[in-house]
């Protein structure tokens, strides 16, 4: 049973305002639900701000010391700590340290297992939602603990660049276990698409193919040993686990920090270092001091690139209830961002949207959107189990059909001309 429409707004900030602006409607059995405008929306307007049902930092990311709040994924490193680690220069000092917004004095750890949070509010929220079940206490660093064995197995099968986390599934289980109304939380998760293949398109999820069968069997066994619960027995059975795996793989929204100096990437949070750099850029300084600061920052980025390369960001993923109702378009009219530098997702309009118009985002990044229709469809088929029929794809498919017909006509004319030449040659020989 799918989650009621009212539930769709329950994780939004100001759900009453959001429900007056947008509407979730059933489209058809292939597309499922869609998000539609209930009133005129202007380019740049924020449609909603939403927190995830669950979120988790990627496992390799955490192993490489990208310190983030265990609950909201906000960076825990100061700008200076971030710069020292990424540049490999332990004695590095940043000018204007007062511009760093990270407040270590507010950070709190779990009293039992010492995992860290950016605030007492996040520590309490995690404890109330899932952490009591997942807290390992003094066994936090014990490699033989069932949860740690599950994490290690996941890392051995899912190397960077990471796209999901087994701990997202673990937090789903823990949230249901801790909930007073377990049926309600199961109902919330039932909203997300969890098919393992699309029968009409005969597409199988790329992580659920035959070659992954042995790995999935091992993960299922470890998952069951670490987290089994009688209320969720279906999730621990082979087919239920595959369905859960597909749910996370196809619905998980990436959440990640960026150390980029540019603000052009909307799908990332800004790291503490990047926020410090932007604050420096806004300083009003004498020309010589401004030049010296810019040179320092430019050299810092060169040192980081040399030491760390592209593996700079704190990354994770989350399940967002309302955002998941947005269908894909290769020419989207909305996009997600993380303006508070934590897991809160904001959806903003990329263009004017009329009442009754569907609100679509792109499941592809900017580089993928610029690729050919064939390449885009390959990514969408493997990761999201559908073939895109947005206006851009239909237009390109029509152009391809016309081109193919013209090529066939040209080939026919060429063959006719060649036959005519052959006949002329034969007559000349006679």
- pLDDT tens by residue, 157-172: 888 878 788 999 999 9
Query: What does the alpha-carbon distance between residue 172 and residue 190 come to, in Å, rounded to a whole number?
Result: 11
Closest CA to 156 of 213, 65, 218, 211: 218
The packing angle between helices 166-178 and 182-190, to 10°, is: 150
Measuring CA to CA, which residue among 357, 253, 328 is closest to residue 21?
A: 357
| Cα maximum dimension of the chain | 102
The answer to whether 304 and 39 have CB atoms below 8 angstroms apart is no
18 pLDDT higher than 60: yes
**pLDDT over threshold 80, residue 5:** no
**Other CB atoms within 10 A of residue 294 CB:** 13
Average pLDDT over residues 146-160: 92
pLDDT at 68 over 70: yes
Q: Which of 197, 240, 206, 210 is nearest to 386 (CA)?
A: 197
Spatial separation of the C-alpha atoms in residues 391 and 358, rounded to whole Å: 13
pLDDT over 80 at 112, yes or no = yes
Give the model's pLDDT for residue 368. Answer: 79
pLDDT for position 91:
96
Q: Closest Cα to residue 154, out of 51, 249, 254?
A: 249
d(CA 414, CA 419): 9
Higher pLDDT residue, 58 or 200? 58
Each residue's pLDDT tens digit, 362-397: 988 777 777 888 888 888 877 777 888 888 888 887
- Orientation angle between helical segments 213-227 and 146-157, nearest 10 degrees: 160
Model confidence at 270, pLDDT cuts 50, 70, 90, reads low
pLDDT of residue 265: 36
Q: Which pLDDT does position 311 carry in this prediction?
A: 57
Cβ pair 270, 341 in contact under 8 A: yes
| Beta pairing class for 108-109 and 54-57 | unpaired
Q: Kindly report, residue by residue over 211-240, the tens digit of the pLDDT.
A: 777 888 999 999 999 999 998 999 999 989
Q: Using 50, 70 and 90 to split pLDDT, how confident is the model at 399?
A: low
For the chain, give me the number of helices (H) and strands (E)?
16, 15
- Name the burial class of residue 145, with classes exposed (0-12), middle (13-18) and buried (19+) by CB atoms within 10 angstroms of its CB: middle
Q: CA geometry: angle at 82 spanning 257 and 336, to 5°?
A: 10
- Token match 């997702």: residue? 345
Residue with the larger pLDDT of the pair 255 and 123 = 123
- How far is residue 325's CA from residue 91's CA, in Å, rounded to a whole number? 48
Distance (Å) of CA 248 to CA 130, 170, 190, 205, 242: 17, 11, 12, 12, 10
What number is the average pLDDT over the span 272-277?
A: 90
pLDDT tens-digit readout, 313-330? 678 899 999 999 999 999
Q: In this structure, are residues 50 and 326 in contact, taking their beta carbons and an 8 Å threshold? A: no
Span 231-257, mean pLDDT?
87
Exposure class string for 234-260: b at 16+ Cβ within 10 A, else e: ebbeeeebbbbbbbbbbbbbbbbbbbb
pLDDT value for 262: 35
Q: What is the pTM of this model?
A: 0.84
Residue 208: phi and psi, rounded to 5, are -120, 20
E strand residue ranges, 171-279: 197-198, 203-204, 253-258, 269-270
Task: Convert the pLDDT of each residue in 276-313 to its tens digit.
Answer: 999 999 999 999 999 999 999 999 999 998 988 755 56
Tokens, residue 297: 């920052």
Q: For residue 36, list its beta bridge partners.
A: 23, 358
Q: Can you give the pLDDT at residue 118?
A: 97
The answer on pLDDT for 147 being more than 50 is yes
The pLDDT-based confidence of 208 (bands split at 50, 70, 90) is: low
Instruction: Find, among 124, 130, 145, 107, the residue nearest to 52 by Cα.
Output: 130
% of the chain at pLDDT higher than 70 = 83
What is the mean predicted confidence (pLDDT) over 403-427? Answer: 47
The pLDDT assigned to 345 comes to 94
Helix (H) or strand (E) holding 116: strand 116-117
- Name the percent of the chain lying above pLDDT 90: 58
């Amino acid at each position: 049973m799918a989650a009621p429409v009212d539930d769709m707004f329950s994780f939004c900030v100001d759900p009453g305002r959001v429900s007056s602006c947008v509407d979730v409607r059933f489209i058809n059995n292939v597309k499922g639900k869609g998000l539609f405008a209930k009133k005129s929306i202007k380019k740049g307007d924020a449609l909603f701000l939403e927190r995830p049902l669950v979120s988790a930092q990627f496992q390799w990311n955490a192993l490489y010391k990208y310190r983030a709040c265990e609950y909201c994924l906000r960076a825990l490193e100061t700008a200076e700590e971030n710069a020292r680690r990424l540049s490999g220069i332990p004695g590095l000092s940043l000018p204007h340290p007062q511009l760093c917004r990270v407040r270590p004095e507010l950070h709190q750890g779990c009293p039992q297992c010492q995992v860290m949070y950016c605030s007492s509010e996040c520590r309490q929220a995690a404890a109330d939602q899932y952490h009591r079940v997942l807290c390992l206490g003094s066994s936090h660093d014990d490699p033989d603990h069932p949860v740690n064995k599950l994490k290690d197995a996941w890392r051995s099968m899912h190397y960077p660049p990471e796209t999901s986390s087994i701990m997202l599934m673990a937090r789903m289980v823990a949230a249901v276990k801790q909930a007073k109304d377990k049926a309600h939380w199961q109902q919330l998760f039932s909203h997300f698409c969890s098919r393992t293949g699309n029968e009409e398109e005969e597409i199988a999820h790329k992580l659920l193919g035959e070659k992954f069968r042995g790995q999935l069997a091992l993960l299922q066994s470890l998952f069951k040993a670490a987290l089994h619960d009688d209320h969720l027995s279906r999730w621990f059975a082979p087919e239920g686990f595959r369905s859960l795996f597909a749910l996370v793989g196809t619905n998980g929204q990436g959440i990640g920090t960026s150390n980029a100096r540019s603000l052009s990437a909307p799908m990332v949070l800004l790291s503490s270092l990047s926020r410090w750099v932007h604050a420096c850029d806004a300083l009003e300084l004498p020309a010589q001091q401004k030049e010296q600061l810019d040179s320092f920052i430019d050299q810092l980025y060169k040192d980081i690139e040399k030491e760390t390369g592209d593996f700079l960001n704190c990354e994770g993923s989350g399940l967002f209830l309302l955002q998941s109702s947005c269908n894909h378009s290769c020419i989207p009219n909305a996009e997600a961002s993380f303006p508070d530098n934590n897991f809160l997702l904001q959806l903003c309009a990329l263009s004017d949207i009329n009442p009754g118009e569907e609100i679509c985002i792109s499941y592809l990044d900017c580089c993928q959107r610029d690729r050919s229709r064939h390449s885009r469809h390959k990514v969408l088929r493997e990761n999201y189990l559908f073939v895109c029929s947005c206006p851009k794809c239909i237009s390109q498919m029509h152009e391809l059909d016309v081109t193919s017909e013209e090529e066939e006509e040209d080939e026919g004319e060429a063959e006719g001309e060649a036959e005519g030449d052959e006949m002329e040659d034969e007559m000349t020989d006679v």
